[in-house]
Amino acid sequence: MSTPTPTPTPSPTPQTATARIHNIGYRHYDGPRLGIPYARLSLFTHSLRGAYGLGRSARSKILPFALAAIMAVPALVMVAVAVTVGMNSLPIGYTEYALFMQPIIGLYLALAGPQLVSLDQRYHTLPLYFSRPLEHADYVRAKAAALAAALFVFTAVPVVLLYIGALLAKLSPADETLGFGKGLLFSAVFSVLHAAIVLLIASLTPRRGFGVAAIIGALTVPYFAVTSVQFVVAEQGSGSLDSVGWLAMLSPGSLLDGFQGALLGGTTEFPHQYAPSGAMGAGYLAVIAGVTAVCYVLLLRRYRKAGL
């Protein structure tokens, strides 16, 4: 069981590749084993990096970084305009930016979601995770947190750029800092809701293509349906526009739009710039929390019997 041969002293001048010594005996590991919390954290960082193609081939880095760059371009242009022209406010609110860039975010999610979970299914890597101390719930938790964090970075970077620009343009620091804080809060809520929905969809198929299509579909179709119905209702309806506010709950995009309009002082894209009341905002928040929780529970169920 011990080393069969004593390791010979290597010659002082290593000349050829064949002079290497391969037969070093097996060494046991008696260092620390850091257990489940560490494994979960490692899976989180690994997945977060994976969401940007880090640790994978060069080709898989192109799209995430290209999309992140596109995400930042309008912010840079706005900042440039604000600084040169000397406007007294930014052309777009901090909480509105992510909504304005939704198509790009949708593309990024369609890329990152399947990257995080579909590949483990497609290449049957799941049994390797679950034959280790990690429990199924740890896997779900790490993956969901990783996607939410990746998306937060994706949506918060332009918000930071806007804030820096606002300060350079010598806009009121107090107002801008408050707006910036709300922008970050909105990014967080946006990321958590979208991560839960997208991960659930991605986890249902090992096929990346299906995942991409299903995610884009789930993010766009309800949004456009809700928006069209809202406009029809607004045009035909008489009196209160509250039905427009209620309808907003039916798609993630309009739900978040309503949320930032009602609670974070932003302007909605709703017809007639309908501003939902605070009570409606609380409703939005409840729906956001509810949808996130339901998706998460379904994800746990999806993985309960997975592996091996």
Partner 1 sequence: MGGTSVCRVSVIATESLSKRYPRVTALDRLTVDIGPGVTGLVGANGAGKSTLIKILLGLAPASEGSAAVLGKDTAREGAAIREQVGYMPEHDCLPPDVSATEFVVHMARMSGLPSTAARERTADTLRHVGLYEERYRPMGGYSTGMKQRVKLAQALVHDPKLVLLDEPTNGLDPAGRDEMLGLIRRVHTDFGISVLVTSHLLGELERTSDHIVVIDGGKLLKSQSTRSFTQTTTTLLIEVTDSDAHPDGADALRTALTAAGVTPVAEPDSTPGAARLVVVEADEERVYDTVRDTVADLGLGMVRMEQRRHRIAEVFQENRTEAAS
Overall size of the chain counted in residues:
308
Q: Which of residues 83-122 bind partner 1 (CB under 8 A)?
A: 119
Beta carbons of 50 and 115 less than 8 angstroms apart: yes
**For residue 9, what is the enclosing H or E element?**
none
Select from 262, 249, 246 the least CA-distant residue to 186: 262
Q: Does 44 bind partner 1 (CB under 8 A)?
A: no
Torsion angle of C-alpha atoms 274, 109, 193, 243, degrees rounded to 10: 30
Residue 27 near partner 1 by CB under 8 A: yes
- Strands (E) located in 218-297: none
Asked if 125 interacts with partner 1 (CB under 8 A), we say: yes
Q: How far is the CB of 58 from partner 1 (least distance, A)?
A: 10
Among 7, 10, 19, 55, binds partner 1 (CB under 8 A): 55
- CB-side exposure of 174: number of CA atoms within 13 Å? 0
Q: Which of 6, 12, 32, 239 binds partner 1 (CB under 8 A)?
A: 32
22 binds partner 1 per the rule CB under 8 A: yes
Of these, 7, 42, 177, 228, which contacts partner 1 (CB under 8 A)? 42
Query: Tokens 């990014």 belong to which residue?
Result: 187
Q: Take residue 253 and report the two structure tokens written for it.
A: 């995009």
Selected from 28, 85, 235, 239, the binder of partner 1 by CB under 8 A is: 28
- Give, as ranges, the residues between 170 and 189 that touch partner 1 (CB under 8 A): none
Among 7, 19, 25, 77, binds partner 1 (CB under 8 A): 25
Residue 220 main-chain phi, psi, to 5 deg:
-95, -45
37: which residues sit within 8 A by CB, 6+ positions away?
A: none
Stretch that binds partner 1, among 36-44, 89-97, 167-175, 180-188 (CB under 8 A): 36-44
Place of tokens 């979601």: 113
Taking CB under 8 A as the criterion, the residue among 4, 8, 12, 278 binding partner 1 is 4
Half-sphere exposure of 76 (CA within 13 A, CB side): 7
The identity of residue 235, as a single letter, is: E
Q: Which stretch binds partner 1 (CB under 8 A): 62-70, 124-132, 170-178, 226-234?
A: 124-132
Does position 277 interact with partner 1 (CB under 8 A)? The reply is: no
Looking at beta carbons only, is 121 or 187 nearer to partner 1? 121
Of residues 128-167, those binding partner 1 (CB under 8 A): 128-135
Closer residue to partner 1 in complex, CB, 16/22: 22
Q: By CB under 8 A, tell whether 300 contacts partner 1.
A: no
Among 198, 202, 238, smallest CA distance to 220 is for 198
Determine, following the binding rule CB under 8 A, whether residue 196 of this chain makes contact with partner 1: no
- Binding flag, residue 12, partner 1 (CB under 8 A): no
Report the distance separating Cα 271 and Cα 137, nearest Å: 42
Report if residue 209 touches partner 1, rule: CB under 8 A.
no
CA distance 260 to 263: 5
Only segment of 123-131, 213-221, 225-233, 241-249 that touches partner 1 (CB under 8 A): 123-131
State both tokens at 221. Answer: 């179709």
Residues contributing to the site for partner 1 (CB under 8 A)? 1, 4, 22, 24-29, 31-36, 38-39, 42-43, 46, 55-57, 60, 119, 123-125, 127-135, 307-308
